[in-house]
């Protein structure tokens, strides 16, 4: 009798998990690489645009007549917004400080908190974010419309430098007017905090002023105004870059305005952290 043939052991089924994991890893790496490449490209374009605007600033006769008009449109018309925001912020700060200090810290420290928070942080940042929406979107929409209707091309045909004629006056106006708007916003915030303390917290004016003067330094105001100037420069420059880069008609104009607001807001927060590290970190040590 012949021996029965031995059957070969069956191979275990191959798991698809490694192949799936490899595909996911490859897609993730590709996505990260594409994002990094896009970010580097955007930084390069932004640096080139900024350098071009700086070089175009030499054509003073081209941009100087338009600075006053842009200062009124971008700065003077924005003053009520900044003062409105800072006014209500000062009221909230005073009430929040009294709630936090009750029974533990003298109430005149309400003045200290209002002064420090409004002048160094809240007035510049909140006003800057609000103006990023108003000024940044306005610039991007205006220049975007000029781009899609070929008005920018017409300027080039007439031998005008678009950067000198359109960008430089807006950037200079934004850089100069943002500190003015923020300075008035500081005053509005502190006055609103004083009124809230006087009428709602029964804190006398001498006590509020005592708290304000206790830790006040001129550096506080200078710090807030320098931040505001950098915010104005960034918002105007980003708005101009987004507007001149518009493509695709009215839809492109809307996308440019949205992009300008988002990028301006992000830049404001980045610059806020930058100035804190550069100035405050050294003074705290």
- pLDDT tens, position by position, 83-142: 999 999 999 999 998 888 777 788 888 999 999 999 999 999 999 999 999 999 999 999
Whether residue 1 is predicted with pLDDT greater than 50 in this model: the reply is: no
Pairwise pLDDT comparison (15 vs 169), residue with the higher score: 169
Answer yes or no: is 35 within a domain. Answer: no
Domain that includes residue 145, residue range: 47-284
Whether residue 199 is predicted with pLDDT greater than 50 in this model: the reply is: yes
Separation of alpha carbons 193 and 198, rounded Å: 9
The total number of structural domains in the chain stands at 1
Whether residue 191 is predicted with pLDDT greater than 50 in this model: the reply is: yes
Answer yes or no: is 142 within a domain. Answer: yes
Answer yes or no: is 115 within a domain. Answer: yes
Pairwise pLDDT comparison (127 vs 5), residue with the higher score: 127
Q: What is the pLDDT of residue 4?
A: 53
Answer yes or no: is 26 within a domain. Answer: no
Compute the CA torsion angle 85, 88, 94, 99 (nearest 10 deg).
-110
Length of the chain: 285
**Mean pLDDT, residues 234-254 taken together:** 89
Answer yes or no: is 3 within a domain. Answer: no
Answer yes or no: is 177 within a domain. Answer: yes
CA angle 216, 271, 64 (to 5 degrees): 95
Whether residue 279 is predicted with pLDDT greater than 70 in this model: the reply is: yes
Q: Quick one: which of 275, 81, 118, 285 has its CA closest to 193?
A: 118
**Mean pLDDT, residues 191-213 taken together:** 91
Answer yes or no: is 19 within a domain. Answer: no
pLDDT digit string, tens, across residues 25-82: 777 777 777 777 777 877 777 788 888 888 888 888 889 999 999 999 888 989 999 9
Q: What is the pLDDT of residue 20?
A: 66
Q: Quick one: which of 184, 193, 170 has its CA closest to 63?
A: 170
Answer yes or no: is 73 within a domain. Answer: yes
């Amino acid at each position: 009798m012949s021996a029965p043939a031995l059957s070969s052991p069956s191979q275990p089924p191959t798991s698809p998990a490694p192949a799936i994991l490899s595909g996911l890893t490859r897609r993730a790496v590709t996505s990260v690489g594409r994002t990094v490449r896009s970010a580097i490209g955007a930084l390069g374009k932004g640096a080139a645009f900024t350098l071009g605007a700086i070089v175009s600033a030499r054509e003073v006769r081209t941009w100087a007549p338009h600075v006053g008009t842009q200062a009124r449109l971008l700065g003077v018309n924005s003053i009520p917004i900044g003062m409105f925001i800072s006014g209500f912020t000062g009221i909230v700060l005073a009430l929040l400080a009294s709630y936090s200090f009750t029974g533990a810290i003298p109430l005149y420290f309400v003045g200290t908190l209002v002064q420090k928070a409004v002048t160094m942080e809240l007035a510049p940042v909140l006003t800057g974010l609000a103006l990023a929406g108003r000024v940044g979107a306005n610039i991007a929409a205006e220049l975007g419309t000029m781009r899609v209707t070929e008005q920018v091309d017409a300027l080039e045909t007439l031998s005008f430098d678009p950067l000198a004629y359109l960008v430089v006056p807006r950037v200079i106006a934004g850089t100069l007017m943002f500190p003015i708007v923020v300075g008035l916003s500081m005053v509005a915030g502190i006055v609103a905090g004083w009124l809230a303390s006087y009428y709602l917290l029964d804190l006398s004016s001498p006590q509020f002023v005592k708290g304000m003067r206790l830790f006040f330094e001129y550096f506080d105001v200078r710090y807030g105004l320098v931040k505001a100037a950098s915010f104005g420069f960034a918002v105007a420059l980003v708005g101009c870059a987004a507007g001149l880069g518009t493509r695709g008609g009215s839809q492109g104009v809307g996308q440019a305005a949205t992009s300008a607001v988002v990028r301006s807001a992000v830049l404001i927060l980045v610059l806020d952290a930058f100035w804190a590290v550069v100035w405050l970190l050294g003074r705290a040590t």
